[in-house]
Amino acid sequence: MTAEPIPTDLQPVEPAYRNALRARAAIFWVPLFIGAMILNKVVLAETPVGDVLSAMVGVVGLSGIFVAPDRIYRRLAYAIDDRLLRTVRGWLFLTDTVVPFVRVQHIDVTRGPFDKLFGTATLVVHTAGTHNSIVTLPGLSPGRAAEIRETIRAEIRADAE
């Protein structure tokens, strides 16, 4: 049995995925910043570190909203051929996952509120085994996610016959 070649033609996910990531980050950081400002006014106003907390939360929050989503987007890609799905993500901790279609148990396409708002979807591939048995590929267009799902489903049917 020979190893199949791994697809190397990596494709980026949808650019709208950056905006979905930004919206999720804003939902986290904006209330945290408001809380830091309130804490600053109520507790820290008369201390020498008066505005430091809200400034630090603001700087980290802005980078979490504007810088991090771009980095996540640039480091997320996928490739697919007639037998394998490959997902690559991460920078400091790179994860390169190859899923042979013969190991796929079932496939989902999910869309949360931000996915619906920005026109993206997540392909969720459940495989046989326990370690890394769920592989997600966020940031696809709904049509592309459904197309990949159907490609995998057709290959699974062909292997079963």
Residues contacting 57, CB < 8 A, separation 6+: 29, 32, 33, 36
The pLDDT-based confidence of 3 (bands split at 50, 70, 90) is low
Give the residue extent of every domain in the chain: 16-71, 77-160
1 pLDDT more than 50? no
Average pLDDT taken over every residue of the chain: 90
pLDDT greater at residue 30 or residue 48: 30
Contacts by 140-145, CB closer than 8 A, 24 or more apart? 140/13, 140/14, 141/14, 142/109, 142/111, 144/14, 145/109, 145/121
Phi, psi of 110 (to 5 degrees): -115, 150
* Mean pLDDT score, 49-74: 92
Contact in structure between 96 and 84 (CB atoms under 8 Å): no
pLDDT tens-digit readout, 116-153:
999 999 999 999 877 779 999 999 999 999 999 999 99
State the pTM of this model. 0.85
What backbone torsions phi and psi does residue 54 show, to the nearest 5 degrees?
-65, -35
Assess contact for 141 and 78: CB atoms under 8 A.
no
Helix (H) or strand (E) holding 145: helix 142-160
Sign of the torsion formed by the C-alpha atoms of 82, 142, 99 and 89: positive
Predicted local distance difference test score (pLDDT) of residue 160: 62
> Could you tell me if 136 and 122 are in contact, meaning their C-beta atoms sit under 8 angstroms apart?
yes
pLDDT at 4 over 70: no
pLDDT digits (tens, 9 = 90+) for 43-54: 877 777 778 888
User: What does the DSSP 8-state code read for residue 52?
Assistant: H
pLDDT of residue 56: 92
Q: Which CATH class is domain 77-160?
A: mainly beta
What average pLDDT does the segment 72-90 reach? 94
pLDDT of residue 161: 63
pLDDT for the residue 50: 74
